[in-house]
């Protein structure tokens, strides 16, 4: 459910995942304006949907309708996945969890210093997840630091995080990357602005830094290319898209998701 949702590969990807798991399930897409959201939730409960994937603008609006909510979703105020059990709605955020699990494939997240570019819904979800599992420091680099100040205080108060700062990312100067072990772009720069680059000074980027980008179309963004040129390990947006959908699949079904089948589906959909 969301508005708008045209051009999103999630339906095709998840239907291929159901097919690979030999489940007679369907994933339906509904364009739901904010004014109709409460009624849509009632309808989903009446029809007995196993789960719901939420797109903007509903990810924060859904919280009052949930009977239970995951910790990262609660702290960030962002719910993108709902499971329905006996008429009760359980809310999760799989975006932050997906990135955390992908980062953990390269080593523990606990104690890491993290820089997140952006202050929107994905930045918030990722920050909450990484703070909960033990990142030591999170820095938000964004155009309007005041937008994220409340969350920075919440993260320090309610998670093991010891330091959380919001710093201005000016468009007319380059931001030096230093003392960062994980760098994450959680902004739209990449898919829709191919000629626009993040105002970052890559000279301070070290090989041990893990660099992630949420932009998935195309997945080979300027940031990914710069990071790879510096010898950094990377997590691209396409892999992240697949992982967060796979986690939703597993929450709903209790079965393992075929991530390779999902990758092939989304690459076919996006003609990559």
Residues 147 and 74 in one domain: no
The pLDDT-based confidence of 195 (bands split at 50, 70, 90) is low
pLDDT, residue 272, reads 86
In a domain, 5, yes or no: no
> Using CA atoms, how far apart are residues 87 and 137, in angstroms rounded to an integer?
39
Which one-letter DSSP state was computed for residue 12?
Answer: H
Residues 176 and 69 in one domain: no
> What's this model's pTM, rounded to 2 decimal places?
0.94
The pLDDT-based confidence of 190 (bands split at 50, 70, 90) is low
Residues 32 and 148 in one domain: no
Percent of the chain with pLDDT over 70: 97
In a domain, 16, yes or no: yes
Residues 223 and 252 in one domain: no
Q: Which domain holds residue 247?
A: 10-92+239-270
Asked if the model's pLDDT at residue 249 lies above 70, the reply is: yes
The pLDDT-based confidence of 8 (bands split at 50, 70, 90) is confident
Residues 266 and 153 in one domain: no
Asked if the model's pLDDT at residue 5 lies above 80, the reply is: yes
Where residue 20 sits, what CATH number does that domain have?
3.40.50.10860
In a domain, 1, yes or no: no
Say whether 52 sits in a helix, a strand or coil: strand
In a domain, 168, yes or no: yes
Number of domains in the chain: 2
pLDDT in tens, 63-118: 999 999 999 999 999 999 999 999 999 999 999 999 999 999 988 899 999 999 99
What b/e string do you get for 62-95 counting C-beta neighbours within 10 Å, with b at 16 or more?
beebbeebbebbbbbbbbbbbbbeeeebbbbbbb
Across 196-225, average pLDDT: 90
In a domain, 261, yes or no: yes
Residues 140 and 199 in one domain: yes
Residues 228 and 108 in one domain: yes
In a domain, 226, yes or no: yes
Residues 208 and 248 in one domain: no
Residues 145 and 45 in one domain: no
- DSSP E strand stretches across 86-151: 88-92, 113-117, 137-142
Residues 100 and 223 in one domain: yes
Where residue 116 sits, what CATH number does that domain have?
3.40.50.720
The pLDDT-based confidence of 178 (bands split at 50, 70, 90) is confident
In a domain, 118, yes or no: yes
Residues 66 and 103 in one domain: no
In a domain, 3, yes or no: no
Residues 208 and 256 in one domain: no
């Amino acid at each position: 459910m969301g508005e708008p949702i045209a051009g999103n590969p999630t339906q095709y990807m998840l239907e291929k995942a159901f097919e690979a798991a030999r489940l007679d399930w369907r994933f339906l897409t509904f364009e739901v304006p904010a004014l109709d959201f409460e009624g849509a939730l009632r309808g989903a409960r009446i029809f007995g949907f196993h789960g719901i994937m939420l797109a903007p603008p509903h990810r924060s609006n859904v919280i009052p309708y949930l009977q239970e909510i995951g910790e990262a979703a609660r702290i960030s105020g962002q719910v993108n996945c709902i499971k329905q059990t006996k008429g009760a709605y359980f809310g999760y955020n799989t975006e932050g969890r997906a990135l955390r699990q992908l980062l953990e494939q390269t080593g523990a997240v606990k104690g890491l210093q993290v820089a997140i570019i952006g202050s929107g819904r994905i930045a918030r979800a990722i920050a909450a997840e990484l703070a909960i599992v033990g990142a030591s420091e999170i820095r938000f680099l964004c155009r309007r630091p005041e937008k994220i100040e409340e969350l920075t205080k919440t993260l320090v108060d309610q998670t093991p995080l010891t330091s959380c700062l919001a710093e201005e990312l000016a468009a007319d100067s380059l931001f030096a990357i230093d003392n960062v072990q994980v760098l994450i772009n959680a902004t739209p720069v990449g898919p829709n602005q191919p000629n626009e680059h993040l105002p970052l000074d890559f000279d301070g980027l070290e090989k041990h830094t893990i660099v992630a980008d949420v932009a998935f179309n195309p997945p080979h963004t300027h940031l990914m290319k710069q990071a790879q040129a510096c010898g950094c390990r990377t997590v691209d947006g396409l892999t992240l898209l697949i992982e967060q959908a796979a986690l939703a699949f597993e929450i709903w079904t209790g079965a393992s998701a075929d991530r390779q089948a999902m990758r092939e589906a989304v690459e076919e959909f996006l003609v990559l």
